Chain A
Amino acid sequence: MIRAARLTLIMPTKNSPVREGAPMQFTFFHLMPWPDLKEAPTEWPAPNAEFNGERGTELYDSYISTMADAEKYGFDWVAANEHHYSPYSLMANCNLVGAALAQRTKSIKLAMLGNLLPLLNPIRVAEEYAMLDVMSGGRLVAGFVRGIPHEYIAYNVAPSESRARMREALALITKAWTEPEPFGWESEHYQYRSVSIWPKPRQKPHPRILLSASNEESAEFVGEHTAMLGMALIADLDSALKAIETYRRVARGYGFDPSPDDIVIMQQAVIADSDEQARALMEPALKYFHGVLMRPQLDAQRIVLQKSRFFGTDTQREHFVGRLSKLKARTLEDQIEAGSVLCGSPESVVKQIKRLRQHLGAGHVILNMKIGNIADGVVRRGMELFRDRVRPHVAAL
């Protein structure tokens, strides 16, 4: 049930020219994983004794260069996100990476997908995003996410407060970006008696906002806020479609009719010269990702979910847990067939992207190409193939 009176209506900022019938858009996403773990940590948090600073510097250099080059490879956005206490991702603050990219790129949109809003000081987020928008000449896409359960242990925030904090913080940030006068803010979790941020964002009324959804409950939240919908780790196309339909229906109730470019699907992707090569590269990378990097997260998730109301209902909790288990347990072939990953030769990936467009109505696909310990050279080859042999065939779907 939607309680209109409790909503924050974010002004749809259709500053992008991409609308119905317009070209597909693509994002290059990087998780910044640690690729060198020999064994899977058995408990959360993963011990950090193995972390090596020199190797870390090398990785940041390589990863940030690859991300900056996404502009040359014809991607529309380059994206980063935030995770804590984990070799799964070295991106504790994606805004730092965004700042580096703002200096190294000229035209590509910088998508922060996003800051873990319930864990952070919302004023700080409003300020950092505004800085990124101004520094980049108005290229920020502002993603806000609730995050995955284990992050709440890292930042000592009650998981059961996550939804309320998300809602309040989002409303506060929108105010901080758009109010013409200094103001104060009173809500259950956030009280600021005097707010007037410098700088304000360059894009008016504010940068486009993307919110993530993995189920119907969160899709409803995105629709209420008339934001772009981001979905990752899709278990199968039919359940993803169900959430997208909910998003569309709810958004229309708020006077916003989402177009394909408002539906953003993230997929782990390996594009290689042949199907066989792509599979041979992706299989061990997924094994490392799910079996090594994700293992401590799953442990933390188990602890959090058994003792908190991170999800509103048992059904939602089961859906979340089931989705990850399903992804982990399936063969690569099953995942390709289900539409959970993009994998293959350029010709095969073109077909897989067409299916996402046709089945889900998605007009924007995020490619997560650095999977686990896959080599950076493989990622760059995939980016070349994307530019030369994928994008030209899916641009005008």
Chain B
Amino acid sequence: MAKARTTKPVKKEAPAKKTSSTNQTDMKTSEIRDLIDFIAHSGLNEVNVETKELKLYIKREPDQKILKSAAPVAAAPVVATAPATVIAAPAAAAAPKTEVAVAAGKKTADIKSPMIGTFYRSSNPETPPFISVGDKVTKGQTVCIIEAMKLFNEIESEVSGTVVKVMVENAQPVEYDQVLFVVEPD
């Protein structure tokens, strides 16, 4: 399970102020594209970028790259939402396998346990987890199994969105109403 990872925070200055807001957006788009290109060629596995307006977290899996951006750090709401809307397109263009989740100014939803039992992230030990951080989840999709007294319960997501957090370790006991996953709704 333990993967060797290099984490290196990249300091980045906030872009110079432009008179036109369009220019500002364009510049951010190209900056982000450049940044992704840079990381793609850098050999780094995890990169954190923080500017005044946005916070970017980029993580590379063995054969894919998951890219997500967390909520902005106490930035003015108007500025905060601007970069968020422009991230998706250039990211997809620069790296087709990259998944993007944008959290700026958005609320999250919890997927909770409807019962007491043991939490399993996959249908059996040999198969990959139903969902992982960065994955898209659709309403009605199975997200985990909770077992109690040899009854195996597939739990369905009641929201569509992107998984931002897995709250419970595999094979751990869970209580009624305990939060299992945090999802950012579409």
Indicate, yes or no, whether A interacts with B: no
Task: List A residues at the B interface (Cβ < 8 Å).
Answer: none
